[in-house]
Amino acid sequence: MDPNFWHQRWQDNKIAFHEAEGNALLSSHFHLLSLQKGDRVFIPLCGKSNDIGWLAGQGCRVVGIELSQAAVEAFFAENGLEAEVSRVGGLRRYRSGPIELFAGDFFKLSKELLGPVDAIYDRAALVAMPERMRTSYAHHLAKLSGNAPQFLITFDYDQSQTEGPPFSVPAETIDRLYEGIYRREPVASVEIAGPLAERCSGTENAWLLRP
């Protein structure tokens, strides 16, 4: 995952992965995690996702990390929020009410900086990782969060149909990455839609990963 690739995508506004209405699988099924108001949800590679605001609207505290500083600043600007900004551990931290976003390298985020996490929402992180980085990503995420339960969204399609990202991450890949850490429970599966459907056919899948 070349950082320059993602910085260029944001600079050129090539962000087809950004869902203007938020993710329907999240809004339909996130209740399965049985979170309480005030619980803290971590979103790796959060971009400027509208899911951040949706989760905050459900009474969650939301913490995310995103490589692109421009994306983080766009989230606060587009939502009319004024953020308190500070530098911590080589990252920039933006805070406003129940929302806290870090700008910088995911692998530079420590458990101490992140703080306690009650659940993880991974829609755009694992599917953005090339195969060579997935094990490092999965292990770092589990370590950061103390193996907090995950609501995970992946795609399953014939990778020969198109280059990622987003990459195809079938069920057996999830099992291999999180073996001994999580057990996988299927939640829902729908046909791939949106810009990705113009490149391939397959399914978008939601999973619960429990320790």
163 known member of a binding site:
no
Cβ neighbours of residue 80 under 8 Å, at least 6 residues apart? none
Q: In the chain, what is the greatest distance between 2 CA atoms, to the nearest angstrom?
A: 44
Alpha carbon 143 to its chain centroid, in Å, reads 16
93 known member of a binding site:
no
Give strand ranges (E) for 84-149. 84-88, 91-96, 99-103, 119-122
66 known member of a binding site:
yes
Structure-token match 């950082």, residue found: 3
**Rounded to an integer, what distance in angstroms lies between the CA atom of residue 93 and that of residue 85?**
6
10 known member of a binding site:
yes
Binding-site residues, in ranges, read 10, 45, 66, 123
Binding residues for S-adenosyl-L-methionine: 10, 45, 66, 123
